[in-house]
Amino acid sequence: MKNIDSHNKFSMDYYQSIIELALGNGYVFCTVDEFIKGGCPDKGHFILRHDVDLKPLTLQQMIDIEIKCGVVSSIYARVAGSNYNVMDYPVFSMLKNAEEKGCEIGLHSNFLEYAMINNVEPLRVLNAEFNLLNCFFDIKGIACHRDINYVYNSLPYVEKNWKQISDMGLQYETYDSRILKSTTYVNEGLNPHLCWRNDSPENVIQTRGSIYLLTHNHWWYTNHPFEA
Ligand SMILES: [Zn+2]
């Protein structure tokens, strides 16, 4: 049986240990925006990215660890078709506080799916989502969202219509080849249970190459996966 521990280890202690291991190996933590503005260095940089799909308030425990370790992350929140309300009091204040601590807030969206299902214009949905968040946060980037049972994928649409989207005020999308070419992308996946999809962060840290770690807060916990 293949490494059974890896199925059930996404704890806060583990999250903190990854950050501490990277800091001990001289990694510099930065937001996605800082990484791009810094010229996408391919060595020694660590991006912590959160796509917030479900249970938004469970992200706070990850933010608390980042603050304790003195590092920053990039947090992408959903608006249209979201399972949570980004304007809900505790969610909004969590994001506001994170931004004040140096985190970057961005948009996590499948605006194309929302537009197709509701028979409205895709860029109109995206514009509404961007404007809502950008009223309160300094939004620079979009991370395209896909459900496990996805129908439509916004990413090719974003690439094809980037001129109009950048005119709207967005500066990057998170799968920009500049970022992917200069980092090792590490994320969770199901195979069939929860695990690292390809590389583990510990293995990539040994290479000293830049790391782009995407996590989904609803899979991470303090004591057990069902606590929130
Ligand atoms: Zn998502």
Looking at residue 136, which CATH number applies to its domain? Answer: 3.20.20.370
Position 228 in a domain: no
Position 18 in a domain: no
Tens-place pLDDT, residues 11-66: 999 999 999 999 999 999 999 999 999 999 999 999 999 999 999 999 999 999 99
Mean confidence (pLDDT) of the chain: 94
26 C-alpha to center of ligand 1: Å?
Answer: 30
Q: How far apart are CA 41 and CA 25, in angstroms?
A: 16
Position 69 in a domain: yes
148 C-alpha to center of ligand 1: Å?
Answer: 9
Position 124 in a domain: yes
24 C-alpha to center of ligand 1: Å?
Answer: 30
Q: How far apart are CA 32 and CA 170, in angstroms?
A: 13
Q: How far apart are CA 121 and CA 123, in angstroms?
A: 6
Q: What crossing angle do the helices spanning 12-24 and 59-69 adopt, rounded to 10°?
A: 30
144 C-alpha to center of ligand 1: Å?
Answer: 7
87 C-alpha to center of ligand 1: Å?
Answer: 18
142 C-alpha to center of ligand 1: Å?
Answer: 11
Q: How far apart are CA 210 and CA 204, in angstroms?
A: 8
Domain that holds residue 145: 25-219
Total domains in the fold of the chain: 1
Position 11 in a domain: no
145 C-alpha to center of ligand 1: Å?
Answer: 4
Residue range 206-222: average pLDDT?
Answer: 97
215 C-alpha to center of ligand 1: Å?
Answer: 10
7 C-alpha to center of ligand 1: Å?
Answer: 20
Position 1 in a domain: no
> What does the pLDDT read at residue 4?
45
Position 119 in a domain: yes
Position 78 in a domain: yes
Question: Which residue, 141, 124, 162, is CA-closest to 51?
Answer: 141
Q: How far apart are CA 172 and CA 127, in angstroms?
A: 15
